[in-house]
Structure 1
Amino acid sequence: MYLKRLRSLRIKAGLKQTDIAEILGIQQTVYSRYERGFQTIPLNFLIKLADFYNTSTDYILNLTNEINPH
């Protein structure tokens, strides 16, 4: 499930949920719901995070195991 990838990418980058929430312009509690699967992440946030982590939305969505896009 992509939720594990969101958390994994954040931890690998050495960031806290509050850091990512600030990047997205939302509250930490909202971002926490995305990671825990209690709320669906909006497409614009998904794209923004893929750009931020230099990966693809396919990787975050667990559609590929290739972390780096072409």
Structure 2
Amino acid sequence: MFSERLHTLRKENGLTAQFMADKLGLSLRAYQFYESGKREPSLQTLVKIADILIVSTDYLLGRDDWIHSAEEFFDEHQ
């Protein structure tokens, strides 16, 4: 679930895998392992990924289908 959502969100945001790797301080190959499901990120990296893609960690992990973070939701409804 994580690898699929990561790949989809990156593409939807028009970002390259190299951009994501650079923002995360990883090699391209290490980042590609996340998208292929061969490896999972540390908690710290997971949070960075969520911040870059502006989604919740729960969404990335498949625990929630709500794509936007709670902070964004509350900002829109105040």
Task: Place the TM-score, normalised by the shorter chain, in its bin.
Answer: over 0.9
What is the identity, as a one-letter code, of the residue corresponding to 1:34?
Y
TM-score (norm. length: structure 2): 0.85
Percent of aligned pairs with the same amino acid: 36
Structure 2: distance between partners of 1:33 and 1:26: 11
- Give, as a single letter, the amino acid of the residue that structure 2 aligns with 1:11: K
Q: Which fold has the larger relative contact order, with Cα–Cα distance below 8 Å and residues 6 or more apart in sequence?
A: 1
Give the C-alpha shift of residue 52 in structure 1. Answer: 1.4
Which secondary structure does the structure 1 equivalent of 2:40 belong to?
coil
| Structure 2 partner of 1:55 | 55
- Count of aligned pairs between the two proteins: 70
* Residue matched to 2:45: 45
Give the CA deviation at 1:54: 1.3
RMSD (Å) for aligned C-alpha atoms: 0.8
- For structure 2, the 5+ residue unaligned runs are 71-78
**Larger Rg computed on CA atoms:** 2
More helix by share: 2
Match of 1:67 in 2: 67
TM-score, structure 1 normalization:
0.93
User: Distance between the aligned counterparts of 2:28 and 2:42, measured in 1?
Assistant: 15
Q: Secondary structure at the match of 1:9?
A: helix
**Secondary structure class of the residue paired with 1:7:** helix
- Shift >3 Å, 4+ stretches: none
**Equivalences for residues 10-25 of structure 1 within 5 A:** 10-25=10-25
